[in-house]
Chains A and B, each alone.
Chain A
Amino acid sequence: MNSIRALIVDDSSVMRKIVERSLRQAGIELKQVLEAGNGAEALSALQDNPVDLILCDINMPVMDGLEFLKQLSGVANAKGVPVVMITTEGSEAHVVQALSCGARGYIRKPFTADQVKEHVLPVLAGKS
């Protein structure tokens, strides 16, 4: 797999670092990692920085992950970029809502690097 650019969106900087580490542990080579603390920051970051993968929390201040998903379709740089949600929200309703808004994967916190691998690799390979 080629080296990728990832955007990690979570209001916790510690969680952003954990997600980045989990991606690396999953064997995903990262050539660039962008971070954003909420959906609005993520949309802004995407204006000037195309990425290959977005990992996004749901519960965040200013703009939550579901609203971010809805607005993502209006960002030219984000066309076709897969989004995988990583969140404590574990209800089927949240999963369905996220997938219907365009998410390609859903990981519940707490998680392992193996779970990240299991959900992210098929998405990057275009199999999900």
Chain B
Amino acid sequence: MKAVNPMLATNDRHEDWVPLLGVAAREVFELMLGSQLTVPATAENANLDITSMVGLAGQVCGVLSVRCDGKAAALMTSRMLGVELDKVGPEMSDALGEVCNMVAGNFKNKIAGLAESCMLSPPTVITGNDYTLHSLANSPALEVRLLFEGMPIIISLLINS
């Protein structure tokens, strides 16, 4: 999976990266979970109480997050491990962290120059939604809303450039 647009590497218009976020997520879900992400008809504010985050440091600094609800998280874990849904246990956080890690890695690999100049942190997974994220980002979040097997997920990238 090569960089799809070398011009984006030196482009300060981060909003141009939004489609790449979507592509990065779609590839991860297709290859690792056998699922085609779809675009929701409306942008509903569902109760997404599981947040997986990976920090970026280097040429681009920020936080990439994947948010979903518990049902979607359990299904993702089930697909990744190849186990029945009711057999999913504490490995759910690990699985969600890996999803976020792969989306972040796949995303930076698509922007020329970013793959080698931007490092990823280990993932962090938060359960619950009664929190406020105070990021040092100095630009609006880049956000992609998609459906995983009909369930909403939100991919966000907060950038401090």
Residues of A within 8 A of B (CB): 11-15, 17-18, 21, 59, 61, 87-94, 108-112
Contact = CB atoms under 8 A, between A and B. Distances in A.
Nearest to B96: A14
B116 A94 contact: yes
Contact of A17 (B81, B102, B122): B81
Contacts, number: 64
Contacts of A112: 31
A12 B116 contact: no
Contacts of B104: 88
Contact of A14 (B31, B91, B120): B91
Q: How many interface residues does chain B have, given as a range?
A: 20 to 34
Contact of B1 (A11, A14, A89, A108): A108
Contacts of A15: 98
Contact of A88 (B77, B82, B91, B102): B102
Contacts of A21: 82
A89 B104 CA distance: 10
Contact of A110 (B32, B97, B108): B32
A12 B115 contact: no
Given A13-B94, A18-B80, A93-B116, A109 B122 contact: no
Contacts of B91: 13-14
B76 to A, nearest CB: 10
Interface in B23-57: 27-28, 31-32
Interface string B115-148: 1100010100000000000000000000000000
Contact of B94 (A12, A61, A93, A111): A12
A94 B108 CA distance: 14
Among all A-B residue pairs, the 5 with the closest Cβ atoms: A88-B105, A91-B115, A90-B109, A91-B116, A110-B31
